Structure formats: structure tokens, C-alpha cells
Amino acid sequence: MACTVSLRLVLTSMVLVVAIVAAAVSFGPLYTASLNAAVDTGMAFSATISREITASVTRELDAMQNITSVLVNAAKFGGYSEDNVRGVTQWLTYATSFGADSANLIFDSGITWTATREMQNGSDVQHGSCALIKYNMTTAELYMINTSDFSTISGPIFYADALDYRTHAYYPTLRSRQAWGHVTIEEFDGFYEAVLPCGAPLVLPNKTSVGAIYLHTRANVIVEYVRELEVAKTGRVMLFDPSSGSLVATNNPADPLTKSVNGTVVDAKFTDATDPLIRRVALSDGQEIFACSPLPCAFELGHGNDLVYVTVSNVNDSFGLGLRLVVMIPSDDFLGEIRSSATSSLGAAAGAVVGLLLLSIVAVVMIVRPLQRLELKIYASVTLEEDDEDDDGAGKSIFTEVLRIEEAYDKLQ
């Protein structure tokens, strides 16, 4: 028995195929192009943020060397000396007022003057004051100073302290030239903290070098600053020393700056970070944060919705700072909305296509209906059958068909 296919089905199928092919050809490249454009925008966005943060961190750290230069020049022009208590008080207080965490004048005689905003327990001193301490390698003499008029608020308080910065690893460098030292650990009454040191030789007006200037900057202070930086929505910033691997700061306060190894407190490395995004980048295969060059450089980690944009920059100056800043931004921070908008737009367009398709199907049905009646007539004539509303179909044969033709012919006569 021959297989028959409805003309309406054929035409409807043709409309469907044409609509699907047209939608794929039209919207496929559009969707791909929109996502590619979004990725390019993401890379540019990441690079822009990285440049801004690098410049901001550099300015913050430059302030420490600027204060060092001021103290160097003050000594050269006779602003203070080992025995000039008034001059020492004014210039060290000035240093802490303009951002120094702790400013120290280390004389070769063994006397060290220190002005600090930090108490021995690690807390900050009261606003508008600083602690001025004179060390003589056995005893400390403490005064609280008003930073506005340099008057003594309280003191002296005497206590035993054998502090001698000249034994620290960074001191020979600072004694010989203005420079930065590597991240180090310093201890204050059992309280350990990571420190980023900088300083310069202390030279008197007669050009005699009598010691060194040392600015002590707690890594915690840098962390507090870095935490204020807004990096997209969930982006991360990591500042570390590539030569030693020491972690200087991140914008996640949970990341450690110190750790204990066999009972000894040492500086934490960038691989010790606990933040999931930072660890993912820091421990990635090949450690691209070291491999990519020239700096600044950028690379992508992961793919799809798991993509992370990473930009690596140098934070350096003429005093040998040499730190590395890594900015990490998940693609969802800015591509999520772009992807959602693109999907919504394309979905709306696809919906319009479906609507037009339904209208086309309705039109096809209306056009095909008369043709379908013709199709049935033709099929009936081929099979010697014809619709008859008053006939239930019984008794049909070639003889009855011939008889009907004869009757029709007689009527035509």
C-alpha cells in the first residue's frame, strides 16, 4: 500500500526548518561576538584596575621614603643630633604625624631614639599623641608626646629593654645607603609582627655618618590600606616580595603575615594565603605570577564562568623596593551581568522568531486548507472513491462508479 504524506505537513516542516536555520545563522554569530566583546572588555577592565591600584600602592609606599629623605636632610642641616632632645622630638614626631608607623634614629654610640604610634602590645596610641622612647641597650625611657606642640603629656617611664636594631639583618643596608630591606619579623614584649623596613644613613652637617635612620612599617598597616582598595566586587589584591616569597599584604584580613615553624615565628609566604582565590592563583600550574613577562602582564586562569583575570605588576622605586602586585578579578564580577543581558536579549529575539513562526504556521494552515480539499478529491479519483455525506461507504465498486458516470452523462444530455 502506497504511503501518503499530507501537503500541510510538508509545508509546515519546510517553514520550521527554514526558521531554525535562519535563527541559528543570525543569532549564533551575534551571541559569540557579544561574549567575545565582553571578554575583551573584561581584560581591559582588569588592566585598568591593576594600573590604578599599582599607582595607589606605590604612592603609599613612596611616602615612607619621602619621610626618610626629610629626616636625612634635617640631620644634614643640623635639625637634630643625638643630644638635641628638642630637635629629636620635633622631627620624629613629624615623621609619625605624616604616616610613619615608627621612626628611629639609630646612633653608632648605642643610643636609639624612637617615635611610634604603636604600643608594646601592638595597639595604636591615642590620636594626637605618639610615644617617644630613648634606648641605651639596657634601659628604655618612655614619654608620651603631644604631636601638635611637642609637649610632654606624661613620662618618663623607665623599664628594662636591650633593643639594638644594629643586630638586625636589614641594618647594614640602611647604614650604607637609602634603601628598602626585605620583610622581617620583629618582636615587642612577646608580640611578633611582620615589618617592611626602609631607611638611610644618618649624616651630620660636618658630613660625618653617625648612624642610620630606620622607618618601621608594620605589614598590618599596609594590609589596612590595601583592604580599603575596591577591586570590582569580589576581586583580590596580593602584594609580595618575589625574591623571598614573603607575603606583604592582601585585601583579605584572614591571610596570615606570620607563621610558626618549629617554634620560631617567621614571615608568611604568598603560598600561605588562605583566601581561596589567592591560593588558586598562587598555586596554579607553572606559577604564572612569576613566569609572565614583561611586566605588567595579564593572563586568564580557568574558563567559562570559572574564569579569572589576573594582572601582575611591579611596585618599585629608585630605592630597590622590588615588590610584585597581583590583581585577581573573577569574570563573574563584571561578565555575569553582561552574560545575563546578552542571554536575555537573545532570548527575546528568539521569542520573537518563535512568535513569527507560529504566525507563519497559522498562515500556512489557512492557505493549505483549500489545497488539502483538492488533494482529497484527487486521491479519491485515483482510488475511485469520492466523499459522499449521505453514503456510509458500503457497496462501492467499479460498476457502481461506471453507473454513476452514466447517470451523470444522461443528466448532462
Q: How many domains does the chain have?
A: 2
Element (H, E) at 132: strand 129-135
Residues 289 and 200 in one domain: no
∠ Cα 327 330 336 (to 5°): 140
Q: Quick one: which of 287, 251, 253 has its CA closest to 271?
A: 287
Distance CA 220, CA 211 (A): 27
Contact 346, 35 (CB under 8 A): no
Place of cell 461506471: 402
Residues 59 and 78 in one domain: no
Q: Residue 164 corresponds to which amino acid?
A: D
Residue 383 DSSP SS3: coil
∠ Cα 329 335 339 (to 5°): 160
Joined together, the cell numbers standing for residue 146 give 603631644
Find the domain containing 233 and state its range: 55-63+222-334
Residues 182 and 234 in one domain: no
Domain containing residue 189: CATH number: 3.30.450.20
Distance CA 109, CA 87 (A): 18
For residues 279-297, b (16+ Cβ closer than 10 Å) or e, as one string? ebbbebeeebbeebeeebb
Q: Does residue 99 belong to any structural domain of this protein? A: yes
Q: Does residue 12 belong to any structural domain of this protein? A: no
Beta-carbon count within 10 A of 83 CB: 9
Residues 126 and 264 in one domain: no
Residues 150 and 237 in one domain: no
Q: Quick one: which of 228, 217, 280 has its CA closest to 250?
A: 228
Element (H, E) at 356: helix 335-382
Distance CA 282, CA 274 (A): 11
Q: What is the pTM of this model?
A: 0.67
pLDDT at 411: 47
Domain boundary among the residues 334, 356, 377 is at: 334
CB-based contacts of 63: which residues, under 8 Å, 6+ apart?
Answer: 98, 99
- Local structure of residue 412 (DSSP, 8 states): H
Contact 331, 277 (CB under 8 A): no
Q: What is the pLDDT along the chain (413 residues), one digit of tens a residue?
A: 555 556 556 656 666 666 666 655 555 565 566 656 666 666 777 777 778 878 877 887 888 899 999 999 999 999 998 888 889 999 998 888 887 778 999 999 999 999 987 665 555 677 778 889 999 999 999 999 888 888 888 889 999 988 889 998 899 999 999 999 888 888 765 677 788 889 999 999 999 999 999 998 877 777 777 777 777 778 888 888 888 888 888 888 888 888 888 888 888 888 888 898 888 888 876 577 777 778 788 888 887 777 888 888 888 888 888 888 888 888 777 666 655 665 666 666 666 666 666 666 666 666 656 655 555 555 555 555 544 544 555 555 555 655 655 555 454 44
Joined together, the cell numbers standing for residue 85 give 632632645
Residues 78 and 214 in one domain: yes
